[in-house]
Structure 1
Amino acid sequence: MSAFYDRMQATATRLIDRYGYATQLERDGAPTGPPHNPQPGTPTRHDCKAVELEYSLTNRDTTLVQQGDKLGLISTAIDIAPTKDDRILLGGELFHFIDLQPLSPGGQILLYEFHARR
């Protein structure tokens, strides 16, 4: 895109790499079987780097955030683009995305921000 956003993406990737940890995204496999009775395919896992963040005091219970929810960032150094239907492995447990937004100023994705729940 532009040299500026390329540098910003490289910085975001480097910082998540440095302060984050290795984890995995899980995506449902392609359905198999006949069209009238499809069976779920084997899920696939994709390595990624993530950083967990803390919620502010205003974003706690009695809002859309529940106890045990996770907030974090995912690096763009991944072989797939995360979707809201994917799951993320955090602390040995799978969490479902409640919200997943790319940070993409100028149309170039720098990182992904997520809100996830068990």
Structure 2
Amino acid sequence: MATFYDEMAATALELITEFGQPVMIRDVQPGDYDPVTGFETPGVERERVAQGILLDFTGQEFATNTLLKSGDKKLKIAAKGLEWMPNLLNTVIIQGETWSLIPPLKEINPAGTPLLYELQVRK
């Protein structure tokens, strides 16, 4: 039997899928130095499609948050089904444009069930 928060996570995914858009999260893990060859081994890149909604920040958010710059956007991503939580080393691709993640990364996680990630993104 699904818990209340599992149902909420499923509802968040359903609504963001309906009203949002696919977002590619790219994670690149750097390679390691190989002392035998003297070269770095290739890094590992993984990508994951998520469902997200890209929003503008409000004027009040600009007035109270000194980390915001003109052109920054708020990205809300449904957490259900994601294999990993987005981190600052990830990039997101939205409609063919690459965005960097800016701290802080917020996780909406009542009772240990991630529902939503709220991210600040910048080109």
Determine if the TM-score, normalized by the shorter chain, exceeds 0.5. Answer: yes
> How many residue pairs end up in the alignment?
117
C-alpha distance in structure 2 between counterparts of 1:83 and 1:64, whole Å: 17
Task: Provide the alpha-carbon RMSD of the alignment.
Answer: 2.3
Q: State the AA in 2 paired with 1:102.
A: E
Per mean C-alpha deviation after superposition, the further-off stretch among 72-81 and 90-99 is: 72-81
Moved more, 35-44 or 88-97: 35-44
TM-score (norm 1): 0.83
Larger radius of gyration: 2
State the identity %: 27
CA-to-partner distance for each residue in 1:56-109, whole Å, 9 max, x for gaps?
A: 112237832111111011112323332221110123111111032210011111
Alpha-carbon distance in structure 1 between the residues aligned to 2:119 and 2:86:
10
Give the TM-score, by structure 2 length: 0.80
Tell me, which stretches of 5 or more residues in structure 1 are unaligned? Answer: none
The Cα offsets for residues 32-74 of structure 1, whole Å up to 9 and x where unpaired, read as: 4415753551532211111012211122378321111110111
Where in structure 2 are the equivalents of 1:3-22 lying within 5 Å? 3-22=3-22
User: Structure 2: where are the runs of 5+ without partners?
Assistant: none
